Amino acid sequence: MRAIRIHETGGPEVMRYEEVALAEPGPGQVRVKVAATGLNYIETYQRTGLYQVPLPFTPGGEFAGTVDALGPDVSGWSVGDRVATASGAGGYAEYALAPADKLVAVPEGIDLSQAAAVMLQGMTAHYLVYSTYPLKAGDTCLIHAAAGGVGLLLTQIASRAGARVIGTAGTAEKAELARAAGASEVILYRDEAFPPRVRELTGGRGVDVVYDSVGKDTWDGSLDCLRPRGMMVSFGNASGPVPPVSPLTLSAKGSIFLTRPTLWHYIATPEELAWRAGDLFSWIASGELGVRVDRSFATADAPAAHIAIQSRATAGKVLLVP
């Protein structure tokens, strides 16, 4: 089979499309014939070495397709089943492996490309709204990169929960996408500083929660947007990692809370995984949740796909298709 391989860390050019042996599923694993793979920022961190992965490796944990082979002791799945996962391995390829207990069935009527587009980012948006800081009617949240892959889904789900959404975006076009997803106000961060504008929009109070996937560039400003005892949710490093934080800073900013969540701790049980994926598929089927695929690249063109997402040139999800 053909797959992207990374033999050394570095820029997008270190990704090579090569012929590799077809992996056999081990105990508890399923092999999936990949229909589409979701691109995620974590793979850029792995490629550069910010997140260390043993070399060589094939990136890609989020994909959808059909079951091709079952490993020993696997039950509950059959060859040909339509499945998706956010916990697989080697998704930048024609075939990939996934733990059988981290797969979800993709209902008929949900396109496999849609499933691949929402497993990681959609379930991330779900846990942020329903578990990390459970939003309720009357709450106000600030969502950075509101027209990004997570941002558009998070904005829709937060609005669905009854919260007021203030978003940030880099262009007027992206701001319109965020408004269409449910943002009440969108701040163009290249045109004005967002903290004073957030204070103005909230009558000086500040927001209840900041959902920040940007990291270093927005960190200080995000803290200044929170109400006393609000929550800072840092769930990404698109601009680089956040520097070390003194607990006294949290006190000085209003006894605020800080958390750095990750999806894996929010889908740790089969029940949580089924809940989050089930909600997403139900909302997509009913038209309550729109999935925007910005563009699709051939898997061989993964370097160009990485350049696209790192240049902030995309709005919505980017997919790789074998």
**For position 145, which CATH number holds?**
3.40.50.720
Q: What angle, rounded to 10 degrees, do the helices at 172-181 and 149-160 form?
A: 30
Residue 129 lies in a domain: no
Q: Are 103 and 69 in contact (CB under 8 A)?
A: no
Q: Is 307 exposed, middle or buried (0-12, 13-18, 19+ CB in 10 A)?
A: middle
Domain count, the chain: 2
Same domain, 114 and 149: no
What is the mean predicted confidence (pLDDT) over 174-185? 96
Distance CA 116, CA 35 (A): 8
What secondary structure does DSSP assign to 124-191, as a single string?
HHHHIIIIIS---TT-EEEESSTTSHHHHHHHHHHHHTT-EEEEEESSHHHHHHHHHHT-SEEEETTT
Q: Which domain holds residue 304?
A: 2-119+270-321
pLDDT at residue 239 greater than cutoff 90:
no
Out of 260, 286, 303, pick the residue that ends a domain.
260
Q: In the chain, where does DSSP find H-type helix?
A: 41-48, 112-127, 149-160, 172-181, 194-201, 219-223, 247-252, 270-286, 302-310
Residue 131 lies in a domain: no
Residue 40 lies in a domain: yes
pLDDT at residue 314 greater than cutoff 90:
no
Same domain, 250 and 164: yes
What is the mean predicted confidence (pLDDT) over 90-111? 96
| pLDDT for position 313 | 74
Residue 105 lies in a domain: yes
Same domain, 305 and 220: no
In the three-class reduction of DSSP (H, G, I as helix; E, B as strand; rest coil), residue 253 is classed as coil
> Between the CA of residue 52 and those of 8, 27, 44, 55, 59, what are the distances in Å?
11, 25, 11, 9, 12
pLDDT at residue 316 greater than cutoff 80:
no
pLDDT at residue 112 greater than cutoff 90:
yes
**30: enclosing H helix or E strand:** strand 29-38
Percent pLDDT > 90 in the chain is: 91
Distance CA 71, CA 270 (A): 19
* CATH value at residue 63: 3.90.180.10
The two three-digit tokens of residue 282, written as one number: 């139900």
The two three-digit tokens of residue 70, written as one number: 């079952």
The two three-digit tokens of residue 186, written as one number: 């969108």
Give strand pairing partners of 317: 293
Same domain, 14 and 112: yes
pLDDT at residue 315 greater than cutoff 80:
no
Q: Name the pTM for this structure.
A: 0.91
Same domain, 203 and 281: no
Distance CA 70, CA 77 (A): 8
Distance CA 125, CA 160 (A): 12
Distance CA 80, CA 68 (A): 6
| pLDDT for position 238 | 80
Neighbour-count burial for 106-123, b at 16+ CB within 10 Å, e otherwise = beeebbbbbbbbbbbbbb
Out of 260, 283, 310, pick the residue that ends a domain.
260
Instruction: Dump pLDDT digits (tens) for 255-275.
Output: 999 999 999 999 999 999 999
| pLDDT for position 149 | 87
